[in-house]
Structure 1
Amino acid sequence: MATGRTHRPATRSRGIPEATVARLPLYLRALTALSERSVPTVSSEELAAAAGVNSAKLRKDFSYLGSYGTRGVGYDVEYLVYQISRELGLTQDWPVVIVGIGNLGAALANYGGFASRGFRVAALIDADPGMAGKPVAGIPVQHTDELEKIIRDDGVSIGVIATPAGAAQQVCDRLVAAGVTSILNFAPTVLNVPEGVDVRKVDLSIELQILAFHEQRKAGEEAAADGVAPPVAARRQQPSTDQGPDGDVPAVMPA
């Protein structure tokens, strides 16, 4: 069985833009849903709507894959599923280690979507000796002392960090030194990695703050349309026009 150590996705060598790569999983999710309903073909408009993009962008993205729909028929669903899965490297097995088995790490371990999307949880790692041997999602937790051996024995190239922020960089350094070249980081901190190591950061608090921004803006727009003052919460977030003691304008939020 192929592992992530010996086979790399072809997207970069084929010159596919990163923005297109980021949308491929959206298309694959929509196509998989169509496949499960035994839908044989789909138009660019229908697939774009299901993926949340416009059809012109979708057609441009698919042109990088060398996939062009048939006029009047659309795209073959099963073939596109195969094409995108191959391009994303999902036609092979990718062993993954999850480091940090607290509430978040345990939730990730219990996520049922890994196996169906080409990923296998090879090991669960935690620094707490009391966690060693305890099963989470049917997998016994192993101590961090075993980290390098697990990565070597299982050919792991993808690591998931779900530790507290203070431990994340040290864990990252050990993963990279052991041969991991891709990291999914859930810790609320920025990781420093050498060239050739890819890091994707997932920060739920940042996503919620972005949503709060949009909610605040909508509240202000609705209030303006009604000719009334915006809600208190929205007013509190408006930039101040009062200058500070040094003549500068205070920031809305601390850096």
Structure 2
Amino acid sequence: MATGRTHRPATRSRGIPEATVARLPLYLRALTALSERSVPTVSSEELAAAAGVNSAKLRKDFSYLGSYGTRGVGYDVEYLVYQISRELGLTQDWPVVIVGIGNLGAALANYGGFASRGFRVAALIDADPAMAGKPVAGIPVQHTDELESIIRDNGVSIGVIATPAGAAQQVCDRLVAAGVTSILNFAPTVLSVPDGVDVRKVDLSIELQILAFHEQRKAGEEATAGAAAVQAAAREETSTDQGPDGDVPAVMPA
């Protein structure tokens, strides 16, 4: 198989928008699930629902791939899996290094989805000398002193940073200097990279904070709706105590 160093995905050269590129993995995940159930074809509406987008956006995205489906039949699942995988560069072998083998790095090393999606963990790297030689997910951890030679010998172009925030930029600089051009950053910090290097940041705390915002907003809406309901009930009760002209009836003498 070709390695990632000599073959790059064709998405940019084909003029596919970044927003569409970001949705392609969602479509691929949904299509892979259909393929595993031996579903031969899928409509745009069904696939859009499974991927969490609207069908018009899905059809527009697929038009960039030159795939329009068949009216009354839908899209061929296996062909779309191949087409999207090829567009994302997943039909190639992409060697990846993971730097920082703490709890998160070890969890990433043990993730079984890498191999099935075209990624091969070429090396696990950590700065702690005590970690050197210890197997994690069947791969012996290597010291950061060997970083540059590992990248060169394995033709690595994708690096994963799972170090503490304070070490992330230095690791990033060494990865870039050694020839890595794509970085997945799990460290809670923003990395500075030169032009031509792509960085994707994964920050679980930010995602949780966004969810907290939505939960707070929903709670506020529920509280507002509850207060409105109480006020409406109070108005209704007041209106039933009034006379036909809206006045409170006088007390009749005994």
Which TM-score applies when normalising by structure 1?
0.89
Aligned equivalents of 1:59, 1:176: Cα separation in 2: 37
SS state at 2:229 partner: coil
SS in 1 for 2:218: helix
Question: Matches of 2:250 and 2:19 in 1, distance apart?
Answer: 32
Trace 1:1-255 onto structure 2 (pairs within 5 A).
1-225=1-225, 227-228=226-227
On the 8 A contact 1:186/1:203 being kept in 2, the answer is: yes
Cα offset, 1:156, TM superposition: 0.1
Q: Structure 1 residue 114: deviation in Å?
A: 0.2
1:14–1:229 distance in 2 versus 1, CA, 3 Å: same
- The separation in 1 between residues aligned to 2:241 and 2:187, in whole angstroms, is 36
Residues 44 and 74, structure 1, Cα contact 8 Å, conserved in 2: yes
Residue segments in structure 2 that go unaligned for 5+ positions in a row = none
Q: CA deviation at 1:248?
A: 49
Assess if the C-alpha contact under 8 Å between 2:4 and 2:156 holds in 1. Answer: yes
Summarize deviations over 1:90-130 as a string: whole Å, max 9, x none: 00100000000000000000000000000000000000000
Question: What SS does the aligned partner of 1:231 have?
Answer: helix
**Structure 2 CA distance for partners of 1:237 and 1:158, relative to 1, 3 Å:** farther
Q: CA deviation at 1:224?
A: 0.5
Displacement of 1:236 after TM fit?
30
Contact 2:99 2:125 in 1 (8 A): yes
Q: 1:142 to 1:73 in 2, by over 3 A?
A: same
Q: 1:241 to 1:204 in 2, by over 3 A?
A: farther
CA distance in 1, matches of 2:187, 2:242: 36
Tell me, in whole angstroms, the C-alpha distance in 2 between the residues paired with 1:241 and 1:174.
Answer: 78
Moved over 3 A (4+): 227-255
Q: Structure 1 residues 242, 233: closer, same or farther in 2, change over 3 A?
A: closer
C-alpha deviation, 1:228, in angstroms: 3.8
Q: 1:38 to 1:194 in 2, by over 3 A?
A: same
Deviation at 1:243, TM superposition (A): 45
Structure-2 separation of matches of 1:144 and 1:243: 83
Instruction: Pick the structure with greater CA Rg.
Output: 2
TM-score (norm 2): 0.89
Report Cα offsets for 1:59-92 as digits up to 9, x if no partner. Answer: 0000000001100000000000000000000001
Larger displacement relative to structure 2 (237-246 or 76-85): 237-246
User: Structure 2 vs 1, CA of residues 100 and 243 (structure 1 numbering), >3 Å: closer, same or farther?
Assistant: farther
Q: Is the 8 A contact 1:217 1:234 kept in 2?
A: no
Q: Percent identity?
A: 94
Secondary structure of residue in 2 paired with 1:179: coil
How many residues in Structure 1 have an aligned counterpart in Structure 2?
254
1:164-202 superposed Cα distances (whole Å, 9 cap, x missing partner): 000000000000000000000000000000000000000
Report deviation, 1:7.
0.1
Structure 1 residue 232: Cα displacement: 21
Root-mean-square deviation (Å): 12.1
Q: Cα deviations across residues 196-241 of structure 1 (Å, max 9, x unaligned)?
A: 000000000000000000000000000100x349999999999999
Q: Deviations over 1:6-58 (max 9, x none)?
A: 00000000000000000000000000000011100000000000000000000
The answer as to whether partners of 1:239 and 1:252 remain within 8 angstroms in 2 is no
